[in-house]
Homo-oligomer: A and B are copies of this chain.
Amino acid sequence: MRVTIREVAKRAGVSAATVSRVLNKPNLVEKETRRRVQAAMKELDFKPNAIARGLSSRQTDTLGLIVPAGITDFFFNELYQGIREASQSHNMRVLVFDSENSPERAMEGFYFLGQHQVDGIIFTSKMITEDFDPVIQRLGLPVVLVLAPNGAKTPIPSFDIDNVRAGFDVVSYLVSRGHRRIGMIAGKVPDTPWQQRLQGYESGLKHFGLPFDSQAVQTGEFSFDDGYRAMQRLLEKQADLQLTAVFSASDEMALGAMRCLYDNGLRVPDDMSIVGFDDVKVARMVVPRLTTVAQPFSEIGAQSVHWLMGALGRVITPTETGTYFLPHRFVERESVRTLV
């Protein structure tokens, strides 16, 4: 059917092993022989079978990526791009598995990727719990966490930003612009980045001597609609709250909040300032452009892939576990008003 290594060998008058060598360790074969083999490959339009190669060498040059719910999701999108590029620069493929926001599916993901003999796994989802320990152990593959804290006992490196710090920074910025009544749209689930940002928000208030009002914090899951509803609730208490700014734990929720304000006849930033989080692609496309915190997606992608390559011994790197904090960046645009 398709041309194999053997036919190339015959054509070049050498053994299959030699052909394999010019493919993998070209310098082990004499110049002239190599040339002949390469010529034969070209003539026959030979393309090595990646599957056979994977079976034989037990390495597929493929990284598995477990995402929580569709790389279509606003933000995993950007992250995926970062990981893809980093992988490509290391000559690696990436195989995506969508856990559909279910821990069980996420677990299946490990099995699935294991079956497909990926060389390493990047897990990026809201949470990884102790339940995953046995699965990961048995797999025996290097795993890194991305944008998620390690809730398992297995020591796994984690690449993330300092969410607490980021939350603090947002408050700090807002205060520097004269805001003193600041609300927040956070996430429900404990132990998530959203909660950490909330934590940073609280410590920010404290640091600047501002009162914390639990009414001023509304939660949502992540979506546009959640953001809308959270803002709606904030608005209902606005008589007491007197908010001048709201910090949303995600850009998508921020967009929902902005829409809600619009529907209530309020203008951003004139009547209410908004700060988002993520710096997704559309953040700069909306009116007003969204002031937000940029996550270093490509940097995170690069680092996590690089760590994996280190663990696989394909690159020299210290492969320590623990959390690697990468710097976030505050992006000032148009959605925050400076108060007198």
Instruction: List residues of A whose CB falls within 8 A of some B CB.
Output: 1-2, 45, 47-52, 54-55, 60, 70-72, 74, 77-78, 80-81, 84, 93, 95-96, 98, 111, 114-117, 138, 140, 224, 252, 255-256, 258-259, 262, 281-282, 285-287
Q: Chain B residues with Cβ under 8 A from A80's Cβ?
A: 71-72
Closest residue of chain B to A289 (Cβ to Cβ) is B259
Please, which residue of chain B has its CB at the minimum distance from the CB of A80? B72
Give the chain B neighbours of A255 by CB distance below 8 A. Answer: 282, 285-286
Question: Which residue of B51, B70, B74, B252 is within 8 Å of A60 (Cβ)?
Answer: B51
Other A-B contacts than A45-B138, A49-B55, A55-B55, 5 sampled, CB-CB below 8 A, are: A72-B80, A255-B282, A256-B285, A286-B287, A287-B287
Are the CB atoms of A117 and B70 closer together than 8 Å?
Answer: no
Expressed in whole angstroms, the Cα–Cα distance for A286 and B47 within the complex equals 48
Q: Are A50 and B115 touching (Cβ within 8 A)?
A: yes
Tell whether, in the assembled complex, residue B47 and residue A55 are in contact, meaning their CB atoms are under 8 Å apart.
Answer: no
Q: Is the interface of A mostly helix, strand, loop or mixed?
A: helix
Instruction: Please tell me which one of the listed residues B48, B50, B140, B259 contacts residue A285 in the complex, with CB atoms under 8 A apart.
Output: B259
Q: Which residues of B contact A49 (CB under 8 A)?
A: 55, 115, 117
Q: A36 CB to closest chain B CB, in angstroms? A: 22
Q: What 4 A-B pairs are tightest by C-beta distance, nearest first?
A: A72-B81, A50-B115, A50-B116, A51-B54
Q: Given A71-B71, A98-B84, A115-B48, are A224 and B285 also a contact pair (CB < 8 Å)?
A: yes
* Min distance, Cβ A254 to any Cβ of chain B, angstroms: 10
Known interface pairs A282-B282, A287-B287; A117-B71 also in contact (CB < 8 Å): no
Pairs across A and B, CB under 8 Å, 5 listed? A45-B138, A93-B95, A255-B282, A255-B286, A285-B286
Measured in the bound complex, the distance between the Cα atoms of B262 and A60 in whole Å is 51
Q: Give the residue name and chain of the B residue nearest to A134 (CB).
A: B45
Q: Are A55 and B51 in contact (CB under 8 A)?
A: yes
A50 to B285, CA, bound (A): 43
**Chain B residues, CB < 8 A from A258:** 287
